Amino acid sequence: MKASYSKYILNFKEPSGTSRGVLRQKETWFLKLNKNKQWGIGECGLLKGLSCDDLPDYEDKLKWVCEHIHLGKAALHEEMRAFPSIQMGIETAFLSLISEDPFKLFPSKFTESEDTLPINGLIWMGDQSFMMDQLEQKLASGFRCIKMKVGAIDFKKELAVLKSIRQRFSKNEITLRVDANGAFTPKEALSRLKDLAVFEIHSIEQPIKPGQWEDMAFLCKNTPLPIALDEELIGIFDSDQKKRLLDSINPQFIVLKPSFIGGFKGSQEWINLAKKQNIGWWITSALESNVGLNAISQWTYTLNTNGPQGLGTGSLFTNNLDSPLEVKNGFIVYNNTKIWSRIK
């Protein structure tokens, strides 16, 4: 077996704002395997400034994996414990290698174009008119679950956008999720959650920065709307520590990004722990190219999930790889009449 890797820079169609700044490009890496006449590909979806494996020796680790590919999936996955995005690339590349179709890792009704997955429509931060424009586009496209980034512009303006949605649509017509990306301080967080709760919000992701377990536990106990942990899960590899986090904070939901938390294996471990504590969860992509998004979408379908997932990021880039993935009427669809771009 031979292995190689390559870097790919994804360009955003529009600068995409979060509470941590504006994104214009996204660096990602492909891990490619060849054995006899078979080949496989996996994406190592690194996100600068957020992934816990955004480290100076990242490329050296990819090189090491390629040089030691003979060790096999399980051993390499364990060796890359501190590099969850590389774990994800390893898992998907090996699955791709043994699949009849290298892009159909989890054959199902989804990959046969017989079923779909509901997803949320994502509204990025910006000025009020920009956010309203995005909202109108999402509603016109058939989305019935909207996720809005909050915490970067004036909070009153963000509330105004939410108010405008609720004046037009009830919670039975449009589900609203918000994502603060840790933008609120512990002192102001509860007050802001109360302001948001007026608009019958489904949930808020990561209201305060991760690592403040005591403050987050207080919020989850006293919140007027459900809280979902997101960044809080990043960088926690040990199963006992995962359990301690959920025991200590007891959130209403967790949000799972496989590229950030150890691929499918690491994500499944979180799911198993969450189920034991009756904690809800959903799956979200992390700005991967269509290679990673394809793998995550197929795996998610096998979980028999309830509610919209966060898998609608494939259309954000000008130079994403052409793929069978489409977004239609608030659902992600695998359209078998479309083919993949050739990956160099």
- Give me the catalytic one of 147, 149, 209, 242: 149
Q: Tokens for 342, please give them.
A: 């050739």
Torsion on CA atoms 170, 171, 177, 182, rounded to nearest 10: 90
- Give me the catalytic one of 26, 61, 257, 265: 257
Q: Smallest Cα–Cα separation from 261: which of 14, 62, 109, 50?
A: 50
Q: Tokens for 10, please give them.
A: 């994804």
Q: 135: which DSSP letter?
A: H
Q: Is 149 a catalytic residue?
A: yes
SS3 content of the chain, % helix, strand, coil (to 5): 35, 25, 40
Using an 8 Å Cβ cutoff, are 71 and 94 in contact?
Answer: no
Q: Is 138 a catalytic residue?
A: no
Q: Which residue has the tokens 């890797």?
A: 5
Strands 117-118 and 121-123: unpaired
Using an 8 Å Cβ cutoff, are 246 and 278 in contact?
Answer: no
The residue count for the chain: 344
| Angle, CA 315 vertex, CA 314 and CA 321 arms, to 5° | 65
Q: Which residues are catalytic?
A: 149, 257
